[in-house]
Structure 1
Amino acid sequence: MDFSEDILPIFISLFQILQSVICWPFPKAKKNLNGEVVVITGAGSGIGALLAAKLAKMGCVVVAWDINEEALQSVIQQIKNAGGKAFGFKCDVSDREQVYFTAKESAKVAGDVTMLINNAGIVGGKNLLETDDEMVKKTFEVNAISHFWTTKAFLPKMMEKNHGHIVSIASSLGYFAAPKLTDNCSSKAAAAHFADALSVELYKAKSSVNVTWVCPYTISTGMFKGVFAGRPWMCNVLKPEFVADQIIQAIQENRNKVFLPKLLDILSLLKEVLPREAMMTFLSWFGVLDAMNDFIGRKKQA
């Protein structure tokens, strides 16, 4: 038995666990985002628009992408009126060639991109057998596959400079399934695990490029209009401002997986240990099985 190969990694892991437990109650150091060049997809509304405005105020150069050009230009103008620096590009992130072209154009006007926030998303809100085949395909293209194209477009320069951050706005639905969301749950799971796998690749490569994937509960934006929380005293629909602030904090602290609210960390552990029937009973009591009954949604790409 080789000590350095078989025993030492165990001691290092135990030390890292102990270090994490000791440091947990204390505030983490936050990196300065001033001067970062940030591409945000789905920046024309909702969380994307809030992130664009907040990051611009922090001194970031914002490059906002959205399929809705009118909404996008409104966001850009608001940032400029507030003294920020921002550029806008109409882009359908489900179109690979359009993503690669827009990435090149973005770098031309804003410089090398140092942060990518994959935020664009859509939701259908129907049971599997009611869902149109094209909608299933489009959901995966926007919510998950687009992350491959955007990341491949910007990651090489980040790795070359050994500086950067990739952020995936996934969802708690990637870990907790719900009716009328088979396409959304599975695409968000793909987005979360894409980011997780990417972080492992970068760790092996000893790269300083960070990866964060954020998994929020339902947010009170137009995308999930009509969804209700069955136990609001325990886990209520999240306010967009809160979610945007938490995403930025996670970026500043170089965190990896982030559940919002933190209660979902506990529920994810319960999911792994509870028998299937017990979990279904809990989800029913929690209101998950009926949360989409009155769903209206925006039904448009963000």
Structure 2
Amino acid sequence: MGEVTILVNNAGVVRVGDFLHLEDKAIEWIVNVNLMSIFWMCKAFMPDMIHKPWAHVVNFASAGGMLALPDISIYCATKFAVVGFSDALRQEMKKYKYNVGITMVCPYTVATGMFAGFKEVAGTKILKTEEVTTRLVKAIKKNKPMVAVPNFQVNFLTPLTKLILPIHAMDFLNKLVGMWTANEQTHERKYKI
């Protein structure tokens, strides 16, 4: 393998269902794929990357790392952790003057097999992979710390409503716009773990 200058941590899995009925094995699987793999990939490749004149790490989180939703609680927990880890890692790179840019990607639902059956809600649409990758390439070139797609909903509206609305109002709003039922068609899908 040649030198690594760009590391893209894009592994992700989701298991839809209420937390109390998720098997322990499923929880471990989600945490290992969505979170632990990012830690291990960064630990494996970044020690060499910090000595390069330029390098970049991309960590895929999710809009589910900015806004928690029912029935995907473990998925959301791992994506919230990816957001926090990416932000802390970005600050460490600055503090220690390493030339490694860190970008976290927080898209809404992307049209991949992982989210087959999810519904479009509240004016958002299921994203095409090209929409996300085009924005990501631009962000890497500009060393932006975050790519949120769609930008307005994920990067502005979600944090603003969480800041100004009481929790019960936020829950009501999520239910009203269909966020609580967006994944109902995926409940019956079975996964090999």
- Normalised to the residue count of structure 2, the TM-score between the two structures is 0.92
The percent of aligned pairs where both chains have the same amino acid is: 37
Is 1:188 the equivalent of 2:79?
yes
In the TM superposition, 1:26-37 aligns within 5 A as none
Q: Which of 38, 42, 49 is 1:151 aligned to?
A: 42
Displacement of 1:230 in angstroms is 2.3
The 1-side partners of 2:74 and 2:189 are apart by: 15
Deviations 1:50-78 (A, max 9, x none): xxxxxxxxxxxxxxxxxxxxxxxxxxxxx
| 1:265 and 2:155 aligned | yes
Tell me the SS of whatever aligns to 2:50.
helix
Task: Report the 3-state secondary structure (helix = DSSP H, G, I; strand = E; otherwise coil) of the residue aligned with 2:7.
Answer: strand
Query: Is residue 120 from structure 1 mapped to residue 1 from structure 2 by the alignment?
Result: no
Deviations 1:107-162 (A, max 9, x none): xx3x2100100001111111101111011011111101111110111111111124
Distance of aligned partners of 1:162 and 1:297 in 2 relative to their CA distance in 1, 3 Å threshold: farther
Q: 2:95 aligns with which of 198, 204, 209?
A: 204
Could you say which structure has the greater relative contact order, defined with CA pairs below 8 angstroms and 6 or more residues apart?
2
Letter of the aligned partner of 1:237 in structure 2? I
Mapping for residues 1-302 of structure 1, pairs under 5 Å: 109=1, 111-231=2-122, 234-263=123-152, 264-267=154-157, 268-295=159-186, 299=191
Contact 2:51 2:98 in 1 (8 A): no
Which runs of structure 1 show a deviation greater than 6 angstroms over 4 or more consecutive aligned residues? none
Structure exhibiting the larger radius of gyration computed from Cα positions: 1
Paired residue type of 2:177: F
**1:114 partner letter:** T
Corresponding residue pairs, total: 190
Name the CA shift for 1:298/1:241 in 2 (closer, same or farther; >3 Å).
farther
Distance 1:266 1:292 in 2: 23
Q: Quote the RMSD (CA, aligned, Å).
A: 1.6
Output the CA distance in 2 between the equivalents of 1:144 and 1:297: 22
Contact 1:120 1:142 in 2 (8 A): yes
- Deviation, 1:297, is 6.0
Do the aligned partners of 2:52 and 2:99 also contact (CA within 8 Å) in 1? Answer: no
Give the structure-1-normalised TM-score. Answer: 0.60
Partner Cα distance (2:161, 2:97) in 1 = 33
User: Contact 2:60–2:105 (CA<8 Å) still a contact in 1?
Assistant: yes
